[in-house]
A and B are shown apart, each in its own frame.
Chain A
Amino acid sequence: MVLGFLEGGQLENATPQVFDTVKERPVTAAELDDNVEDPIDAREVFDLIRDINDPEHPLTLEQLKVVAEELITVDTQSKIVNVSFTPTIPHCSMATLIGLCIRVKLFRALPREYKIDLSISPGNHDQEKAINKQLQDKERVAAALENPNLLSVVDKCIAEPDY
C-alpha cells in the first residue's frame, strides 16, 4: 500500500469520545460587503476541515476533536497555513490518511499560493516524527494522490455531508 493504511479489519478505537461541535460562524455586515476584503483566518480554515469524515467512524474530525480552531494559524503575509491535528489514540494507523485528507481538502479549497504546513500536535502519536516527515514530503504526497485507490478513499472522507 502506498502509505500503508488501507488494510481492513477491526476498529482500532471502537468507542471514541464524541465532543460537541461549534456553532456556525455569524455572518457580519463587513463579510457581506464585497468591497471589504476578508482575509483568510483560522476559523475559515477550521470550517473547511471540521466536517471531514473520520476514516473508520461516521463522525467528523471536529466531533472527535482531531481538529480544533486553536490548532490552526494563518499567516496572510507569507501565505502559510499551519494546521496541527490530534489522532484519537497515540498508535492510530489512520493518522497519515487523516493528514492526507486535511492536506487535499485545503489544497483544493485555498488559493494555490498558500503553503500548508501540517503536523501531528506534539506528543500525540508514537510515530509523530515519521508521519510528519511523510506528510510534509510534497513529492510523496503528489505520488500518493496519483494512486486512484487512495484518492477514492480520500475523496470519500472529504466529501461534503448530505443535508
Chain B
Amino acid sequence: MHVQLVGTLSGHADSIWCCAWSPDGCTLATCGTDKAIRLWNNPSQNKDEEAGGDRSTDGGWKCATILSDGHSRTVRRVAWSPCGRMLASCSFDGTVCVWSLKNGEFDCTVTLEGHENEVKAVAFSPSGRYLATCSRDKTVWIWEQDHDSGDDFECVSVQSCHTQDVKCVCWHPSEDLLASASYDNSINFYKDEGDDWTCDFTAVGHDSTVWAIDFDRDGGRLVSASDDRTLRVWKRYEVGNEVGVAPSWKVISTIQGFHPRPIYAVSWCPNTGLIASGCGDNNVRIFAPDPEQMACETDDAPNFLQATLIEAHQQDVNCVSWNPKQAGLLATVGDDETIKLWQVSDYDVPI
C-alpha cells in the first residue's frame, strides 16, 4: 500500500472536530472549536494535469466558504444531505443548524432546538427524509423533514435508551436504520415500527466510551471505535438467518493491540473496503481484510491487518473520512488545527 500526502489545509483557528465529504466527493466540510464551518473544494481537480502537477502544500484545495454565524459555541459535527444541497451542523450550544443551498450559497434556514445541552452528532438518513441528532442529555432525536412548510423539520421521536452522553449517530447506507454510540459503552440500533421508532437492539462489548461508528458499503457490518483502544467489527444477523442466531449485531472481529490511546474516529471506505482510524496518539491507521482469508469462508470471523500507519498530525486525530467518489482519498483533522488529505493507492483489497 502506498500513501501520499496530497494537501495540508489550514484556516481554522483552533481544534478541528469533524470533516465530512459532500455526496459528490467534490466538497469537504470541516468544523471545530472556532465555531466556524469551512467548505473546501479543488477547482483544478477535474482539469487535465498541469505540467508537473500542483506543487502547493494545499494541493489546489481552497476554502471557498466560511459559515460562521450559526453557532455560539464549538461546532462538533457537520453532515451532508444525500442530495448535497443541505448541510446540518450541531454544536455545544445545544442547537442544530440546517444550511440550504440557494443561489449558490449556503444559508442557515432552520435552527432545531430541543436538546437540553451539547449536541454531539448529526446525520441525514439515506433517503434524506430523516435527520438524527444526539446529545450529552443522553437522548437521540429523530426529525422528519416537513415538506408542507418548506425546509422545516419536525421531531418525530425522542429515544432514551442510553444511560449516558451519546457521542455519535450513523444511518445504515440504504435503510431507515439508525445506530448510536455512547459514553455508556454501548451501541443502540433503532428502526421505524410504523407508529414510532423503537430501540431494536443494544450491542455491548466495548469496555469504555464508543466515540465513533460507521457501516460498511452494504450495511451488513458496522465498525466501532472506542476509548478502550479497540476497534470492533459487528455483523448484522437478521430474522431467519442461516446460522440460527437471534436477530442481533454481534462482534465478529476485535482489532486490538494497535492503538495506545483512545480512538476518536473511524471510517469504512465504500469504494475500497479499507477501514481508517484516528487516534489520540496523533496517528491514522488503515486496516484491510487479511488476504489469506479471502479465499476461505470466513464471513463470521474475519481478520483485519494493519496495512499502514500514518504519522498524520501533531496532536490528537479527531475525525477521518473517506471520499465517497474518489477511491482512496482520505481526509483527516485534529487538534493541531490542520486538515490533511491523503491518497492511498496500491491497495490489494477486493471490494
Contact = CB atoms under 8 A, between A and B. Distances in A.
A139 B120 contact: yes
Q: Interface on chain B toward A: helix, strand, loop, or mixed SS?
A: loop
A140 interface: yes
A162 interface: no
B328 interface: no
A136 B228 CA distance: 12
A142 interface: yes
A142 B33 contact: yes
Contacts of B209: 133, 137
A152 to B, nearest CB: 16
Interface string B321-351: 0000000000000011000000000000000
Contacts of B335: 112
A146 B92 contact: yes
Interface string A60-84: 0000000000000000001000000
Contacts of B314: 113
Interface in B262-319: 262, 280-281, 314-316
A115 interface: yes
Interface in B41-68: none
B74 A115 contact: no
B85 interface: no
Interface in A126-158: 133, 136-140, 142-143, 146
Contacts of A139: 76, 120, 167
Given A115-B280, A137-B183, A146 B316 contact: no
B118 A143 contact: yes
Contacts of B316: 115, 138
A143 B315 contact: no
Contacts of B216: none
Contact of A140 (B165, B261, B280, B336): B165
Contact of A146 (B74, B261, B262): B74
Interface residues of B, number: 25
Nearest to B280: A115
A9 B33 CA distance: 34
A143 B74 contact: yes
Interface in A75-102: 78
Nearest to B93: A146
Contacts of A137: 165, 183, 209, 227
B73 interface: yes
Given A142-B33, A143-B92, A146-B73, A113 B136 contact: no
B208 interface: yes
Contacts of A146: 73-74, 92
Nearest to A114: B315
Contacts of B73: 143, 146
Given A112-B315, A133-B209, A140 B136 contact: yes
A22 to B, nearest CB: 32
A113 B315 contact: yes
A15 B261 CA distance: 39
A134 to B, nearest CB: 9
B77 to A, nearest CB: 11
Q: Which one of A115, A139, A140, A146 has the highest number of Cβ atoms from chain B below 10 Å of its Cβ? A: A139
A137 B315 CA distance: 15
Given A137-B227, A139-B167, A146-B92, 20 more contacts: A78-B281, A112-B335, A112-B336, A113-B315, A115-B280, A115-B316, A133-B208, A133-B209, A136-B262, A137-B209, A138-B280, A140-B136, A140-B165, A142-B33, A142-B74, A143-B74, A143-B92, A143-B118, A146-B73, A146-B74
Interface of A: 78, 112-113, 115, 133, 136-140, 142-143, 146
